[in-house]
Amino acid sequence: EVKNLEEIFEARIARDEKIEPKDWMPEKYRQTHIRQISQHAHSEIIGMLPEGNWITRAPSLRRKAALLAKVQDEAGHGLYLYSACETLGVSRDELYEQLHSGKAKYSSIFNYPTITWADMGAIGWLVDGAAIINQVPLCNTSFGPYARAMVRVCKEESFHQRQGYEIMLTLCRGTEEQKAMAQDALNRWWWPSLMMLGPTDAESVHTEQSMKWKLKRKSNDELRQQFIDQTVPQADLLGLTIPDPDLKFNEETGHYDFGEIDWDEFWQVVKGHGPCNKERMSARVNAWNNGEWVRDAAMAYAEKNEKRKVA
């Protein structure tokens, strides 16, 4: 009977139908979605930290309002994605437990420090730029709740990308020191942004199956190339130099060739040895522990109200 169900499922995927939470799905499909959606949710939540670092030091009220809104959006994306993940039969508590115990992965990119204000520009421009390239195809992913979440998330990411690029533009039109600050931020964020899109297709263990299920619609290398092709002209417009001496437009392919990525650095960061992994985890775990009394109070209040209703 499972074979029959599996055939029906495969036929639905072939027809580009959305799979909904109560539909039959292969256990591996469910597990791989829990893996990717929860990693995505954790990334949004941890991703609030590097930028949260600059909210109190934003250079103007306008910059502060925009940054605050962006970080708040990321919290929203995280909660939205946790909800999508819960529809697959995993509880929010389990997901938090996986994050707080260090079992769960989240994006490598958020383990780098934000040293100057220009980092707010570089993150919006590059990190959110890469996120859009990665997430627009996910609006077409086969699992309904994930696909629908991505539509809204992508709209907000687009605002994030623009606010970052505008910070870069302002710095690049400013004093020499400001332009140097923008260049320094690009130097530090460029390579980690390329790594963020995941290992090469040859090293990516999940791509083949995820493409078959239409969870992934584009491979890591395809997304990376698209990101580079889109971003180089934007750097030119800023008058900044991408820190890659091998970067060169290839007339034949119509794409930019680029230098070798330091995959050793990538795996070190993924395994927990990046510059800020420990700091990020302890910030999250402390926030969770320090908020315990709030959760307890909310539960006690809800229970009291429930009892009142019964009485």
> At residue 188, what is the residue type?
R
- Tell me which stretch binds ligand ACO (CB under 6 A): 7-15, 43-51, 244-252, 293-301: 43-51
What minimum distance in Å lies between the beta carbon of 251 and ligand ACO? 29
Strand 248-250 vs strand 255-257: parallel, antiparallel, or unpaired? antiparallel
Which listed range, 10-18, 22-30, 55-63, 196-204, lies at the site for ligand ACO (CB under 6 A)? 196-204
User: Which residue number, 179 or 198, has a Cβ lying nearer to ligand ACO?
Assistant: 198
Structure-token pair, residue 154: 């992508």
H or E segment to which residue 256 belongs: strand 255-257
Q: Of residues 100-159, which lie at the interface with ligand ACO (CB under 6 A)?
A: 105, 107-108, 131, 134
Burial 211-236 (b: 16+ CB within 10 A, else e): eebbbbbbbbbbbbbbbbeebbebbe
Q: Is 44 in the site for ligand ACO (CB under 6 A)?
A: yes
169 exposure class (CB count in 10 Å sphere: 0-12, 13-18, 19+): middle
Examine residue 183 and tell whether it contacts ligand ACO (CB under 6 A).
no
Residues within window 212-251 making contact with ligand ACO, judged by CB under 6 A: 216, 220
Chain-centre distance for alpha carbon 115: 20
Number of residues that bind ligand ACO (CB under 6 A): 24
Q: Going residue by residue from 161 to 180, which x/- string records binding to ligand ACO, judged by CB under 6 A?
A: --------------------
Residue closer to ligand ACO, measured from CB, 116 or 204: 204
